[in-house]
């Protein structure tokens, strides 16, 4: 089934988590909105995930919108003279289910009136939140969970990324009433085999069993 990977902020580890889920679950990958494409200097997230997982083009479809400036989607679109039109973003047809990666956190604006949270509502697939393990993660994670639940979207759980921090994990589960369903430790090497090994060692596979796109 499809899943949407969001994060508590930018650079938290969404792309690693999305690649890990794609590799371990046998899914494809799609990032509807990409900013920070600097041709010739660094790969896009799509290109990075393809390199890590070995996905072929039909299962890693191109972005709906892609911009060069490494800024919020609404600002990147404004600088490009484009308005991101939410209804025009449609799930591409792919042979495999997709892991869909958002841009930034849930309240990142995509145009003058809509946010990444509206894209998540529009696509209506279960959500996995990538969160840091470091100090500050409790506040950021609980606010993200609260925003998702306020829109009555299905929340599969939280995945922590970074050095292990058991107390932060316990606090997120206790105060957020949400499960931490996986942990990605620092990785010295990232490829398909390494990603699958982390999933098998540190994730609860039963959480990815086809939950409805909306909470009851």
- As annotated, the active-site residues are 31
Distance from C-alpha of 111 to C-alpha of 72, rounded to nearest angstrom: 10
Within 8 A by CB and 6+ apart from 199, the residues are 20, 21, 23, 24, 182, 205
Distance from C-alpha of 63 to C-alpha of 41, rounded to nearest angstrom: 19
Largest CA distance in the chain: 46
| Phi, psi dihedral angles at 181 (to 5 degrees) | -100, -5
């Amino acid at each position: 089934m499809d899943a949407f990977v969001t994060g508590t902020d930018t650079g938290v580890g969404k792309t690693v988590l999305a690649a890990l889920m794609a590799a371990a679950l046998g899914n494809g990958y799609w990032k509807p909105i990409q900013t920070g494409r600097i041709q010739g200097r660094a790969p896009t997230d799509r290109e990075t995930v393809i390199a890590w997982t070995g996905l072929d083009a039909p299962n890693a479809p191109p972005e709906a919108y892609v911009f060069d400036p490494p800024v919020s989607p609404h600002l990147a679109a404004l600088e490009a003279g484009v308005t991101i039109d939410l209804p025009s973003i449609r799930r591409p047809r792919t042979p495999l289910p997709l892991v869909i990666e958002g841009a930034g956190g849930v309240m990142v604006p995509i145009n003058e009136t809509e946010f990444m949270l509206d894209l998540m509502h529009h696509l209506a697939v279960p959500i996995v939140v990538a969160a840091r393990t470091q100090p500050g993660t409790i506040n950021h994670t609980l606010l993200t969970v609260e925003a998702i639940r306020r829109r009555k979207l299905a929340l599969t759980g939280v995945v922590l990324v970074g050095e292990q921090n058991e107390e932060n994990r316990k606090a997120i589960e206790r105060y957020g009433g949400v499960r931490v369903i996986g942990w990605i430790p620092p990785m010295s090497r990232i490829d398909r085999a390494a990603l699958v090994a982390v999933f098998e060692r540190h994730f609860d596979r039963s959480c990815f069993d086809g939950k409805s796109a909306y909470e009851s």
